[in-house]
Amino acid sequence: MSDGTDGPRVGDGGTAGPRVGSGDHPSGGDRGDAAVRSDGGTTGGSADRGADRPLSGLTVLELGHIVAGPFCALLLADLGADVIKVEHPDGGDAIRDSSPLGNSSFNYVNRDKRSVTVDLKSAEGRAVFADLAAEADVLVENFAPGTAERLGIGYEDLREDHPELVYCSIKGFNPGPYERYPALDPVAEALSGVMSVTGHPGQPPVRCGTSVADMTASFYGAIAVLGALRRRDATGEGGKVTAPLFESTVALMGYWLSFAQAYDEVPGPLGASHPNWAPYDVFRAGDGEWVFVGPSSQRQWVAMCEALDLDLHRDERFATLEDRREHVEALTDLLDDAFGESDAETLVARLRDAGVPVAPVNDAADVAADPHLAETDALAEVTTAEGRRRTVRVPRFPVRASGFERVDSDDPPRLGEHTDEVLSSLGYSAEEIEAMRDRGAV
């Protein structure tokens, strides 16, 4: 479901139609100075819910779909930006109402945004988009290569009229030999080497259990947008940011690339282990549950043995970390037997009390009910826009910072939910909006 490049339902054809400059509204009316929120506030969406957040007062246009573009824009929304999600009137984001998992992905990565529907293949729709772009600070898109340019909304199309715009383009690859290849999250994981070290020896390679390439590109994109905004503060000029799935995921493999070149040894699948430490793996407890245990210092190794009444730290085969690495298979067999004598809850409690890194292997339902996440208010409660109409808890922005207010999250938007209020703030009358809706432009 994670797609960093294919274009959404706005289509990938057509030619650029008339464009409206920053001073020319088709109705002849004046633009409003601030966007209007559904709760009656101004400057729109998330911007008013936390005026002291770093990006409060900035507007982001998101032409995103599935994971990569929407997640990048979500990060900017969490920092206070007002994110306006621009979608095609016929269906919107390709993942809307696509499947139970697709719906769940949409509801997470699109919280705290407003949805406006615009047909970018129509001249009238592009004129509306030009008005939106004139008020924007940042644009985020993850169309297939060349799609934005064919629609007349690429960076070069917009920069002349909007020189202060920061344009973030999330693609499969940076410009080069691969740039026109289709890309998905697993494509980036496979090419980057991440897939080669994921899974277990002797088994087929596997992708990570979440969209790690999409999200990594989103993180790098958001970081670069912040840098571009800082540069704009100093120079008055915007710029283009390209955040690639492939190269971003390669960055996660940095120390393995260094290792393979320096020691002429290529790492294989690691399971949950790590060749630098022993023991460092998942073990099955007596009740059948899995637990990760990873003492990473000599003190923790001794503490683990003492907490579990083991004499392994006195065995010369396991005296030092180097010894334990050399005899890791024998050590693992002994620990499998020892850990199998306790249930997971007891094992975790005893090792935590001893200061040893340990964790139960939680599933998604366990995480949703985690007491630490509840106590630290790490999950936001939202009403879903896609799928079953119910309240769910989804992750909030996890970082805490002094002077940075964390506010309650808005629900993910229904398709076109905010079209009227956003276009009204740009100076369009209710009659104009309704006429454009009748013509399918919005």
- Tens digits of pLDDT across the chain (442 residues): 344 433 333 333 332 332 223 333 333 333 333 333 333 333 334 445 557 889 999 999 999 999 999 999 999 999 999 999 999 999 999 999 999 999 999 999 999 999 999 999 999 999 999 999 999 999 999 999 999 999 999 999 999 999 999 999 999 999 999 999 999 999 999 999 999 999 999 999 999 999 999 999 999 999 999 999 999 999 999 999 999 999 999 999 999 999 999 999 999 999 999 999 999 999 999 999 999 999 999 999 999 999 999 999 999 999 999 999 999 999 999 999 999 999 999 999 999 999 999 999 999 999 999 999 999 999 999 999 998 879 999 999 999 888 887 788 899 999 999 999 999 999 999 999 999 999 999 9
CB atoms near residue 301 (< 10 Å): 22
Is 3 labeled as catalytic in the residue annotation?
no
**Within this chain, do residues 352 and 388 fall inside the same structural domain, yes or no?**
no
CB 395 within 8 A of CB 108: yes
Give the whole-angstrom CA distance, residue 16 versus residue 148: 10
Give the whole-angstrom CA distance, residue 128 versus residue 441: 9
Which residues on neighbouring strands pair with residue 116, listed in sequence order? 86
CATH of the domain at 322: 3.30.1540.10
**Within this chain, do residues 294 and 246 fall inside the same structural domain, yes or no?**
no
**Within this chain, do residues 88 and 134 fall inside the same structural domain, yes or no?**
yes
Task: Mention every residue, 6+ apart, whose C-beta is less than 8 A from residue 279.
Answer: 293, 294, 295, 324, 328, 331, 332, 335
**Within this chain, do residues 389 and 351 fall inside the same structural domain, yes or no?**
no
**Within this chain, do residues 204 and 306 fall inside the same structural domain, yes or no?**
no
CA distances (Å), 48 to each of 42, 135, 257, 406, in order?
Answer: 7, 16, 45, 12
Q: Of residues 112, 157, 214, 411, which has the active-site annotation? A: 214
CATH of the domain at 49: 3.40.50.10540
Specify if 319 maps to a domain.
yes
Please name the residue that has the structure tokens 């383009």. Answer: 169
CB 342 within 8 A of CB 286: yes
Domain that residue 126 falls in: 45-252+377-438
Q: Total domain count for the chain?
A: 2
Q: Virtual CA dihedral for 409, 415, 417, 423, nearest 10 degrees?
A: 120
Specify if 9 maps to a domain.
no
Tokens of 423: 């276009």
**Within this chain, do residues 192 and 296 fall inside the same structural domain, yes or no?**
no
Omega of the bond leading into 279 within 30 degrees of 0 (cis): yes
**Within this chain, do residues 305 and 236 fall inside the same structural domain, yes or no?**
no
Specify if 264 maps to a domain.
no
Specify if 267 maps to a domain.
no
Q: What does the chain come to in residues? A: 442
